[in-house]
Amino acid sequence: MGRALIIGAGGVAGVVIHKCCQNSEVFEEICIASRTKSKCDKFKAELEGKTKTKITTAQVDADNVPELVALMKEYKPDICINVALPYQDLHIMDACLECKVDYVDTANYEPEDTAKFEYSWQWAYRERFEKAGITALLGSGFDPGVTGVFCAYAQKHYFDEINYIDILDCNGGDHGYPFATNFNPEINIREVSAKGSYIQDGKWVETEPMEIKRVYNFDEVGEKDMYLLHHEELESLALNIKGIKRIRFFMTFGQSYLTHLKCLENVGMTSIEPIDFEGKKIVPLQFLKAVLPDPASLGPRTKGKTNIGCICQGKKDGKDVKYYVYNVCDHQECYKEVGSQAISYTTGVPAMIGAMMVMTGKWKKPGVYNIEEFDPDPFMEALNKLGLPWKENFDPVLVD
């Protein structure tokens, strides 16, 4: 069918690459391009000969638009799958515009010097993408990503209006380290050390970091502490799902993770303000990232399961309806299949499916869209077939 340019060669990219190679009829050719070319070459060496997909690699600085444009003009991809970091989103979108290439990412743009997640920067590209006749699919990971598709599916099939959504993200995995993050440490720590927030009656309500705690008993994982966080999909779902009165996001954390994080925060290691060190400016959080285990190395050590899903409450034909849809994913199974733990897997599989939706024309529509704006049915079907099957519960325990 076509050609994908994959930008980034980290944990999530590894899964995207494996899954594209498992679906060669859609991804006939891929180019893996990242800052460190040796990481791209490693994936190529691992997969070549085991797949029909033709793999090439390239070095690119995705913060450099002319470099990206030169690569796209040479490779002529049908789609660009951005699994580098959120800082690169706008640069990659600029290059896609110039070369008329469809675009998919898994996390919204964030300026490097302020930990602030919002869609405004990317939504500002809507008209330009429409005029160029190309599609940008934003947030096609798990959360954001599958969680948005779950909500769109609930809206389409089971509700006239959804009034309450709670997104529950549980990682019951254990990697055996006292402290490590399951995806890029810098992005992860920026996310969890920020203030929490949720949307109530059309307004953001802010909380202190980790202020709101609940306990939930997750299917196939068991009882876990979870904390309310700000999360980017709240912003788009509150606009795109009909009837929302309140939408919240909870993530589970173990006590050891929280104690370490507090300590690192207290000593200033999570700060993104540059400091002078031996005549050089360094960002403490970037230094911390350098000393923590690489998330891509957690695969072989991580045991247990993730359970991520959405609890929706609302009305259908005047009656109250409750609906919980979720996926359970086993870290060790993921490792066996693609050599990564479940956090990278649950992000990489939907990134590949999102690209597949656009490439096969099912979700091809000029403009910039959040994932819940498309028909959820083909994506839900693909999740079941391609590694992330989901379960439904029409009488779930609710979160108070």
- Provide, rounded to whole angstroms, the least separation between the CB of residue 321 and ligand NDP: 27
- Provide, rounded to whole angstroms, the least separation between the CB of residue 300 and ligand NDP: 16
148 binds ligand NDP per the rule CB under 6 A: no
387 binds ligand NDP per the rule CB under 6 A: no
- Among the listed ranges 5-13, 47-55, 253-261, 385-393, the one in contact with ligand NDP (CB under 6 A) is 5-13
Cis peptide before 389 (omega within 30 of 0): no
310 binds ligand NDP per the rule CB under 6 A: no
Which parts of 224-283 interact with ligand NDP (CB under 6 A)? none
CB atoms within 10 A of CB 395: 8
CB-based contact 296:348 (threshold 8 Å) = no
Element (H, E) at 46: helix 37-47
- Report the sign of the C-alpha dihedral through residues 160, 166, 172, 174, in that order: positive
Beta 275-277 vs 280-282: how paired, if at all?
antiparallel
CB atoms within 10 A of CB 121: 15
Q: Tokens 């911390």 appear where?
A: 288
E-strand ranges in 342-400 read 367-370, 390-393
The residue from 95, 296, 325, 352 that contacts ligand NDP (CB under 6 A) is 296
46 binds ligand NDP per the rule CB under 6 A: no
Which parts of 51-90 interact with ligand NDP (CB under 6 A)? 60-63, 83-86, 88
C-alpha R_g of the chain: 20
301 binds ligand NDP per the rule CB under 6 A: no
The residue from 29, 102, 143, 235 that contacts ligand NDP (CB under 6 A) is 143
- Report the sign of the C-alpha dihedral through residues 103, 106, 108, 110, in that order: negative
Q: How far is CA 207 from the centre of its chain?
A: 23
What is the C-alpha separation between 145 and 327, in angstroms, rounded?
13
What is the C-alpha separation between 105 and 227, in angstroms, rounded?
26
The site string for ligand NDP over 329-368 (x = CB under 6 A, - otherwise) reads: ------------------x---------------------
- Provide, rounded to whole angstroms, the least separation between the CB of residue 11 and ligand NDP: 4
Nearer to ligand NDP, 4 or 9 (CB): 9
Q: What is the DSSP letter of 300?
A: G
144 binds ligand NDP per the rule CB under 6 A: yes
- Provide, rounded to whole angstroms, the least separation between the CB of residue 344 and ligand NDP: 6
Nearer to ligand NDP, 105 or 330 (CB): 105
Q: Which residue is nearest to ligand NDP (CB)?
A: 10
By CB under 6 A, the count of residues binding ligand NDP is 32
**Which positions touch ligand NDP (CB under 6 A)?**
8-13, 34-36, 39, 60-63, 83-86, 88, 106-107, 141-145, 183-184, 187, 295-296, 347
